Amino acid sequence: MKKHLILLFMSLVVVFGGLGISSLVQADNKDDGQNEDEKDERKPLEMEVTLQKHYIDGKVDEDTHTETIWAMEDFWSYYHGWQVMDQQEGSIIFKKEVSDISPYLKEKGYFGLKNDILTIFNGRPTHEQVIQSFYQIDTSELESYQTKQLQDGIKIESKEVYQYVLEAYRDMAPSRSVSS
């Protein structure tokens, strides 16, 4: 009899233990389901990001790429200093004013003259590929070396060269007399 009671007790332990384990497994499965929901909530956001850089020479460089965003705080922190121009679901456009001339102008730009107008050319002035025109210059006021420089083209290597040439030749613009 004692043997039967021990057997019965062990059977009950196994049955109830099995139920306990199976209910624990089910509870774990429910937790996994909740974790999947939480994972769904933590899916990264895919955003098309457009960056517009506006340079002092008027050129605008634009770059568009898709970005995966895990944390919005990190995203906004990364683009600190950029101005939001447009934001729609799935896309955002940022703008930044760059206090420099564009890489394009540094690579290709030359000051020269076209019809006595100070002009920036794509390449040397002899190619006559005009990028931008500024103001007329009284060429009779130019020193011979200045005339030669403008005919050959003054390479725009930096913001400083760009600003210097604009200022230096501005004083040689013909004065306009005002009739009284």
Using one digit for the tens of pLDDT, what is the confidence trace for 8-29? 455 444 444 444 434 444 444 4
Confidence grade of residue 168 (pLDDT, cut at 50, 70, 90) = confident
CA distance linking residue 101 with residue 155, whole number of Å: 13
> Does residue 36 register a pLDDT over 80?
no
Domains of the chain (ranges, CATH numbers)? 45-98 (3.10.20.420), 103-170 (3.30.70.1740)
Query: What are 102-158's pLDDT values in tens digits?
Result: 999 999 999 999 888 899 999 888 877 888 889 888 888 888 888 888 888 999 999
In terms of Cβ atoms closer than 10 Å to its own Cβ (0-12, 13-18, 19+), residue 117 is middle
Which pLDDT does position 98 carry in this prediction?
95
> Does residue 38 register a pLDDT over 70?
no
Which pLDDT does position 35 carry in this prediction?
52
CA distance linking residue 93 with residue 80, whole number of Å: 13
CA distance linking residue 129 with residue 114, whole number of Å: 10
Which pLDDT does position 19 carry in this prediction?
44
Query: What are 43-71's pLDDT values in tens digits?
Result: 889 999 999 999 999 999 999 999 999 99
Q: What's the one-letter identity of residue 1?
A: M
Classify the C-alpha dihedral 8-11-13-19 as positive or negative: negative
Which pLDDT does position 178 carry in this prediction?
39
Which pLDDT does position 110 carry in this prediction?
93
Distant-in-sequence, close-in-space partners of 115: CB < 8 Å, separation ≥ 6: none
Confidence grade of residue 80 (pLDDT, cut at 50, 70, 90) = very high
Which pLDDT does position 128 carry in this prediction?
78
31 or 111, higher pLDDT: 111
CB atoms within 10 A of CB 111: 22
Distant-in-sequence, close-in-space partners of 62: CB < 8 Å, separation ≥ 6: 50, 51, 52, 53
